[in-house]
Structure 1
Amino acid sequence: MKQYLELVSHVIQNGTKQANRTGINTISFPGAMLRFDLQEGFPAITTRKMAFKSAIGEMCGFLRGVNNAAEFRALGCKVWDQNANENAQWLANPFRQGDDDLGEIYGVQWRKWPAYKQIPLSNTAAIEQTLSNGYKQIAQGEEDGQAYVVLYKAIDQVRQCVDTIIKDPGSRRILFHGWNVAQLDEMALPPCHLLYQFHPNVETKEISLTLYIRSNDLGLLYPLEESAQYAMAA
């Protein structure tokens, strides 16, 4: 808590005022970082009353790939209700699929990141390799006189991370991402915490996690359900 309050003070004293889409100016200080050792306690750092059950329900929803406010409510989390049903911009979005729909938010990208490959029909080796990796052909077309096929696969990024931690813990590629540029317009809210990298230590049998947040209300800092290390762009 001490380092958090010191950071809040530092941002207030050294940050710069900036206008943004909400119409309420912010005091911004990019690139700040907080570090937590889980052996010293759970990093639930906030200046307000913490709705712990709601935070756990939300995380369970993300890990299940939930994209519907009703499913979050069933898990004890109501924080997505307003984004789903009261956000004027989202209500007018043609991608919205009725009440409680949230679109392709966090958990969808974590567990079912949509991956497409367009491969020339003449490149049979690449097509065969892609099919062997679980992709399915969904379309065929022609561009500049060259025939091609389109293959698709929903990628479970979290599962890939778990598998790599087990099989290749020395890898520096154990990460997953929520910022899918191609689908930002299909989300009720684009991800704030968006990049997560695991750092296993084989010798000590510990795992650190670096979390990058593109935007966060530092004064009301969210409970940190999952991070051992927490990198924040305020």
Structure 2
Amino acid sequence: MQAYLDLCRRVIDEGVWVKNTRTGKRCLTVINADFEYDVSDGSLPVLTTKKLFWKPAIAEMLGYLRGYQSAAQFRALGCNTWNANANDNAGWLANPFRVGEDDMGRCYGVQGRRWRNPEGKEIDQLRKIVDNLSRGIDDRREVMTFYNPGEIDRACLAACMHTHTFSLLGDALYLTSYQRSDDLPLGHGFNQVQVGWLLMIMAQITGKKPAKAFHKIVNAHIYEDQLDQVKNIQLKRDPYPLPKLKINPDIKSLSDLENWVTLDDFELQGYRHHPAIQYPFSV
């Protein structure tokens, strides 16, 4: 939590104004930031200086792991974050590869479960990782990437948190997640929860112990219409201790995640937070 506040201050103090071509808005921007989350005791890295709706963050990542391609599928899980990009993004609406209402195209989980090589063969990256980790194998290629340069034009949005690398040291599982673009007031809270949850759930379904997650960010920014709220509200609040995430112990396999897991299988214990902040969202 403190590292997040420190990065917000760094962006304000050192950031450079950059105009974002997709949204038409200016962003105060810095390059390179690193976070480290120790989830070995069940602590979930949830923002406490504002209320974070953590369940939709988990639902979104769960949808990625299932390879969902429709905003309707995410809504059914309890996540509405893809409605705008699927249906209100002018560039995507005019894209000939869009197949209709709620279609997101070939982004995020589609690439994680059905990545296409140049010959058109689909590769299930996640399945290979789960199978290897379950057998105690780390070939230093336990990588799941949502970024396929050959199909960026076939997606409503290029993946922001695009690559997840899993590493084993004995029976301890580590995760390194790479993010090309980070909307600090809005997106970061979601992404931070997702990194911690992904490590926890992957450890559980592969029989390993969750250790530390490393969250690496390239471009960290605050939009011009978010800046006042960051400075005058969020940065004036003191953080609270992190809560603990309780995961249904009956979740034991990738098949479980694919077929029956819901948000009711996760409980956040001891989440104390400041009131929510309604930051503007840029499509």
TM-score per shorter chain, which class?
A: 0.7 to 0.9
| 1:225 matches 2:194 | yes
The residue aligned with 2:174 is 208
The residue aligned with 1:147 is none
| 1:105 matches 2:107 | yes
User: SS in structure 1 opposite 2:182?
Assistant: coil
**CA shift at 1:53, angstroms?**
2.2
The residue aligned with 1:129 is none
- Whether the aligned pair in 1 keeps the contact of 2:160 and 2:180 (CA below 8 Å) is yes
**CA shift at 1:47, angstroms?**
4.9
**CA shift at 1:27, angstroms?**
1.7
**CA shift at 1:161, angstroms?**
1.3
TM-score by length of 2: 0.66
Which runs of 5 or more residues in structure 1 are unaligned?
118-151
Identity of aligned residues (%): 40
The residue aligned with 1:53 is 55
- Whether the aligned pair in 1 keeps the contact of 2:147 and 2:158 (CA below 8 Å) is yes
Which runs of 5 or more residues in structure 2 are unaligned?
197-212, 221-283
Higher relative contact order (CA 8 A, sep 6+): 2
User: SS in structure 1 opposite 2:99?
Assistant: coil
Check 1:170–1:113 CA distance in 2 against 1; reply closer, same or farther (3 A cut). closer
Query: How many aligned positions are there?
Result: 198
User: SS in structure 2 opposite 1:58?
Assistant: helix
Matches within 5 A, 1:106-121: 106-117=108-119
User: SS in structure 1 opposite 2:69?
Assistant: coil
User: SS in structure 1 opposite 2:111?
Assistant: helix
Counterparts of 2:87 and 2:34, CA distance in 1: 34
User: SS in structure 1 opposite 2:8?
Assistant: helix
User: SS in structure 2 opposite 1:116?
Assistant: coil
Counterparts of 1:181 and 1:209, CA distance in 2: 23
- Whether the aligned pair in 2 keeps the contact of 1:169 and 1:201 (CA below 8 Å) is no
Deviations 1:59-100 (A, max 9, x none): 121111110011111111111111111111111111111111
Deviations 1:8-31 (A, max 9, x none): 112221222212212221122111
Counterparts of 1:225 and 1:46, CA distance in 2: 16
Matches within 5 A, 1:1-234: 1-21=1-21, 22-39=23-40, 41-45=43-47, 47-117=49-119, 152-167=120-135, 169-202=137-170, 205-220=171-186, 221-223=188-190, 224-227=193-196, 228-233=213-218, 234=220
- Whether the aligned pair in 2 keeps the contact of 1:62 and 1:106 (CA below 8 Å) is yes
**CA shift at 1:176, angstroms?**
1.3
2:93 corresponds to which letter in structure 1?
Answer: L
* Dislocated runs of 4+, deviation >4 Å: none
TM-score by length of 1: 0.79
